Chain A
Amino acid sequence: MNDQAYNFAYLDEQTKRMIRRAILKGLAIPGYQVPFASREMPMPYGWGTGGVQVSAAVLTPEDRFKVIDQGADDTTNAVSIRSFFQRTAGVDATTDTAEASVIQTRHRIPEEALREDQILVYQVPIPEPLRFLEPRESETRKMHSLEEYGLMHVKLYEDIAKHGHIATSYAYPVKVEGRYVMDPSPIPKFDNPKLGNNAAVQLFGAGREQRIYALPPYTDVISLDFEDHPFEASKADHACDLCGSTHSYLDEVITDDKGGRMFVCSDTDYCEKRQAEGHTGRRSDATQLQEVGQ
């Protein structure tokens, strides 16, 4: 039962209506940053105030809600947001990607392919991809409206000049439907190919910056690159030490102070499901697993 002191999902109905209008506009213009009147939420900026407001606006009592933080269901941010909505909206929570109808995420896209009846809500710290190249907001808005995106490539040029390859590994800029350049929030560039042609609705909320943007299902999303330095979705060159997966995004976990380390799936739900199916990794049977990472 939800806490009677709150309206359903914490925000009042007028606020949710305002946010839904912004979401609809965002869906109508994929990749365009729609300003909205972001509210104070009972959590600090940087903890997902934007994502929480978007989730609050799209949740219905029948939804099953999942929150992931860097792929994991059991970190502080994920646990606190999940319990926030369990308390204020009384919705069922789950950690199973396939079961969830609304998934709020911080910096990952689940490994499991999403379906048309699912909504993925991203927490976005800085929605403006051009921010660090052009600090004037008036100028970046003009650049978006006039489609002047040469500057975005200057960043990639600098990467290659400095490192010999495009070293940007997260928040990798994308072009949506051949029009708007968008910051996909700090997801690893490994996840970039999953942004495009995705069956689920993808919503991005930036609370402090007061912006909402969106990708409707099956949107064309291209990662920017150079002809002679094409985009590459990179990951650690290992297999998961727990489930043996070679095609999921991995976290590196330091296991001791003697240089010991292991690689595990960053998507905990995906990893657990694979282990339950009997897949094993290099260290599946190690006894110290209970103490590390997992």
Chain B
Amino acid sequence: MTPLLSVKDIRKTYGSHIGCTDVSFDLYPGEVMGIVGESGSGKSTLLSCLAGHLEPDQGAVNFDTRDRGLIDTVQMSEPERRMLSRTDWAFVHQHARDGLRMGVSAGGNVGERLMAVGDRHYGDIRSKAVDWLERVEISETRVDDRPSTFSGGMQQRLQIARNLVTGPRLVFMDEPTGGLDVSVQARLLDLLRGLVRDMGLSAIIVTHDLAVVRLLADRLMVMKSGRVVETGLTDQVLDDPQHEYSQLLVSSVLQV
């Protein structure tokens, strides 16, 4: 089986400071991978490198494209990479404001990706937008409202709808539940889990919240100071952490 994403020896430094280094892994279709670690451990840098927002200093990010098989997206031309990022890839930002157009209605936000890949039939675009809003539990009556009138949780769900409307195969998520209160988090996680299972998505989720990865991720990567210190199945890593930092991380979770 070919991996959907094959990461080889990624390294990104900021001057003499290491962002992340020596990261290699394979992600298979339908698999959800969690990346956990404390602030500054390089997990967001790694995600930006994978998603093409940052150029890594060395290493390769091979993606299994539909037409040409495994291709290194780092070496890819920019138009190709941008095309990938609006068709086969999706990126869910921590702050919905970064991923949404706040001056454009919810329907327009969802429709943008469709129009970007050449959809030119208003009726079709609109019905797809409405369909997706319903799938993320936003009422059809809100389709013409701007995201600025939405609550934080709704904005985040709208961002997810906007990203998934073109049927991507790989979703990058950067702290998708950060900044939301726990009950909204729980709903969002439930929704995400449903979507990931239904659509057979592969995803890479960066978070510092162990509950999120416990619920969503099949596999876990623990990062510390820019390096991967432990990898394994989620339950295995969380229940029986081997590395001292993983142990610290797991034991730091507050029990209610």
Contact = CB atoms under 8 A, between A and B. Distances in A.
A162 B15 CA distance: 49
Contact of B116 (A148, A158, A160, A161): A148
Contacts of A146: 78-79, 82
B121 A161 contact: no
A221 B126 CA distance: 27
B123 A228 contact: yes
B108 interface: yes
Interface of A: 133, 146, 148, 150-151, 153-154, 157-158, 160-162, 226-229
B115 A148 contact: no
A161 B115 contact: no
Contact of B122 (A133, A150, A151, A229): A229
A162 B116 contact: no
Q: Which of A148, A160, A161, A162 has the most CB of B within 10 A?
A: A161
A288 B41 CA distance: 80
Which size bracket describes the interface of B in this complex? 20 to 34
A161 B116 CA distance: 18
A182 to B, nearest CB: 18
B120 A153 contact: yes
Given A146-B79, A151-B112, A228-B122, A161 B107 contact: yes
Contacts of A161: 105, 107-108, 126, 143-144
Contacts of A158: 104-105, 108
Contacts of B101: 133, 154
B213 interface: no
Contacts of A229: 122
13 contacts: A133-B104, A148-B116, A150-B86, A150-B115, A151-B115, A151-B116, A154-B108, A154-B111, A154-B112, A157-B122, A157-B126, A161-B105, A161-B144
A154 B122 CA distance: 10
B117 interface: yes
Nearest to B122: A226
A160 B122 CA distance: 8
A148 B79 CA distance: 9
B79 A157 contact: no
Contacts of A150: 86, 112-113, 115-118
B125 interface: yes
Nearest to A166: B122
A153 B115 contact: yes
A179 to B, nearest CB: 14
Nearest to A227: B121
A157 B144 contact: no
Contacts of B120: 153, 226-227
A184 to B, nearest CB: 20
B144 A162 contact: yes
Nearest to A151: B112
Contacts of B121: 226-228
Interface in B121-135: 121-123, 125-126
Contacts of B126: 157, 161
B116 A157 contact: no
Contacts of B104: 133, 154, 158
Nearest to A150: B116
A154 B86 CA distance: 15
A157 B123 contact: no
B151 to A, nearest CB: 21
B113 to A, nearest CB: 8
Contacts of A227: 120-122
